[in-house]
Structure 1
Amino acid sequence: METTKLKKPPRRKWFFILLIIGLLSFVIYKGNATVGVTRYEIVSDKIPDAYDTYRIVQISDLHDAEFGDNHSEVVNRVKMITPQAIFITGDFIDSNRYNLEQSLILIEELQFVAPIYYVTGNHEIATQDMERIHEALEDLGVRVLSDEADVITLFPDSSIAIGGIEDPLASGLEDDEAVKLSIEKAFENVPDDMFKILLSHRPEQFNVYAEQEIDLTFSGHAHGGQFRIPGIGGLISPGQGWFPKYSSGIHEKNGSHLVVSRGLGNSIIPVRLFNQPEIVVVTLRKTE
């Protein structure tokens, strides 16, 4: 009786299988444990001369993640950028594994680099610990913007407004109505012709930001769509669902610009794909 011997897969086949596994592992690692820097320019004739080349760093959606000892990977990159301002656009902590002290280390390391401005995200609201979060940030010199705006003047007759609003989860209103009312309150004493910057966690409210004639809005929340499909974009994000329109990058509508950070950390979905955590750098440029 003849017996049939099973052929062993050729070594070349195993080599390619291991190569694919190795490449996929590298992509997943890079997309979750390392931090990139993305740079944009915003050009406007409303930007005062004194603010030409004004450099802003945006940090969003940390979600209590750590990147090196004392957040060294983020801190070192921010210091090398030498910004004039640092914006933190919500979800600084994660309500599912709340560790405020761990996230505050990042602020301690950055507090003397540049003025820091902060607004809440939905995760801060969900902790029901807003007072402690705000007090801890303010103790470290952070400007917590709660439906209010600061007019920043570098030289006489050369000012811009930096405003921030609470996440609409804090309101019992529909999100768009809450955002509209918060913006009106924040900028009620700001001249109409002044260049207005808004910090607001939710990118899906871009229509409201444009209708309120905000010149430049910084948002996060979308986590870059969590899994990014090359040539298509993000797969899913809160508030926008499948294939979100505003998951990353810079967008324009009727002269209003929106910058969406992919953020740093993760929350319910613990893994990113083709979606490296990022620090955003925006440079203001005066139209010549």
Structure 2
Amino acid sequence: MKKWIAIIATLGLLGCFLYANQQWLHLTKYAITLKKLPKEMDGLKIVQISDLHHAEFGHEQSKLIEKVKNEKPDMIVITGDLVDRYHYDLDQSLEAVEGFVKIAPVYYVNGNHEVSLNDVPQITKLLKDIGVHVLENQTVSYYRNGAAIDIIGIDDPLNGKETAQMLNEALVGTDTETFRLLLAHRPEYYQDYVNAGIDLTFNGHAHGGQIRIPGIGGLVDHQMNLFPTHIEGIERQDQLTQVISRGLGNSRVNIRLFNPPEIVVATLHSEK
């Protein structure tokens, strides 16, 4: 009898541990100093949401929305895979976005899951209807204290276009002297971002390795690659600073291990 009690207790603890790994919302905060950032933008706070997939955090995403609201961001960026092609529930994802637009301006780019669903027009229409700035290979200006920066958004290359081509389209008519903030789903194309003169980019896609080893990092990513690279944190190459989110959800395999769902909070500072 004692043996069975011990087994049940162990299984219960294991279940609680696995559940916590999927549901404990973790805030990762960065203070990033950037050379070209106008002094008027000093202190700009950006919350990044990435790879929500089919994850749910509280009734109508209330826990996720509350976490974001408490950070008082100046803008919220969503870097793709808002939905999941294997468990498609757009309404559930929109519950989160409807909460975000009440907090700060929201900017969004597609990920590979949106593209693979062949439903991009419907997804982007609904997002625009609730007030989201959907960026499809284009640039918009963001103003603060009389200064401006460019916010560039590109689609996922699963749509058939090369990343460099999409960047060229998005940057037509822009000034190379203006600070360039890029939203793109995939971090592995960082060299294209460098070549395009991007100063700061927010990415996701790799889920932080999905299964992580404490003290070592990602063991395997969502595509079953061992010891993947460009999966989380801050990376720098030439003038580029790249912020990579571990994301919030999963696809196909609903397991995150030593890898809690991540909300990125980046506060930008100017050297000027």
TM bracket (short chain): over 0.9
Cα 1:238–1:208 change in 2 (3 A) is: farther
Aligned to 1:57: 47
Contact kept? 1:60, 1:220, Cα under 8 Å: yes
- How far 1:231 moved relative to its partner? 2.0
CA distance in 1, matches of 2:185, 2:193: 12
CA distance in 2, matches of 1:210, 1:22: 48
Aligned to 1:241: 225
Select which of 169, 172, 178 maps to 1:185: 169
Aligned to 1:100: 90
Aligned to 2:75: 85
5 Å-filtered alignment, 1:192-203, equals 192-203=176-187
Counterpart check, 1:223 vs 2:207:
yes
Spell out, residue by residue over 1:214-244, the C-alpha distance to the aligned partner (whole angstroms, 9 max, x if none). Answer: 1111111101111001222112235793211
CA distance in 2, matches of 1:194, 1:206: 19
- How far 1:153 moved relative to its partner? 2.0
Counterpart check, 1:154 vs 2:144:
yes
Cα 1:226–1:182 change in 2 (3 A) is: same
For 2:254, the aligned partner's letter is P
Compute the RMSD of aligned alpha carbons. Answer: 2.0
For 1:87, the aligned partner's letter is V
Question: Gapped runs of 5+ residues in structure 2?
Answer: none
For 2:122, the aligned partner's letter is R
Aligned to 1:256: 240
- How far 1:167 moved relative to its partner? 0.5
CA distance in 2, matches of 1:168, 1:250: 22
TM-score, normalization by structure 1: 0.88
Aligned to 2:249: 265
Aligned to 1:32: 22
5 Å-filtered alignment, 1:110-121, equals 110-121=100-111
When structure 1 is superposed on structure 2, of 48-57 and 183-192 the one drifting more is: 183-192
CA distance in 1, matches of 2:174, 2:4: 65
- How far 1:255 moved relative to its partner? 2.3
For 1:200, the aligned partner's letter is A
Aligned to 2:117: 127
CA distance in 1, matches of 2:59, 2:222: 30
Classify the secondary structure of the residue corresponding to 1:203.
Answer: coil
CA distance in 1, matches of 2:12, 2:86: 31
Aligned to 2:269: 285
Spell out, residue by residue over 1:31-78, the C-alpha distance to the aligned partner (whole angstroms, 9 max, x if none). Answer: 101211101122012111111000000001111221001111110011
CA distance in 1, matches of 2:145, 2:224: 41
How many pairs were matched up?
272
Classify the secondary structure of the residue corresponding to 1:131.
Answer: helix
Counterpart check, 1:137 vs 2:157:
no
Q: Percent identity?
A: 43
When structure 1 is superposed on structure 2, of 237-246 and 44-53 the one drifting more is: 237-246
Aligned to 1:43: 33
Instruction: Select the structure of larger CA radius of gyration.
Output: 1
Aligned to 1:4: none
- How far 1:25 moved relative to its partner? 3.5
CA distance in 2, matches of 1:255, 1:24: 45
CA distance in 2, matches of 1:240, 1:284: 34
Classify the secondary structure of the residue corresponding to 1:280.
Answer: strand
Contact kept? 2:109, 2:136, Cα under 8 Å: yes
Contact kept? 2:108, 2:135, Cα under 8 Å: yes
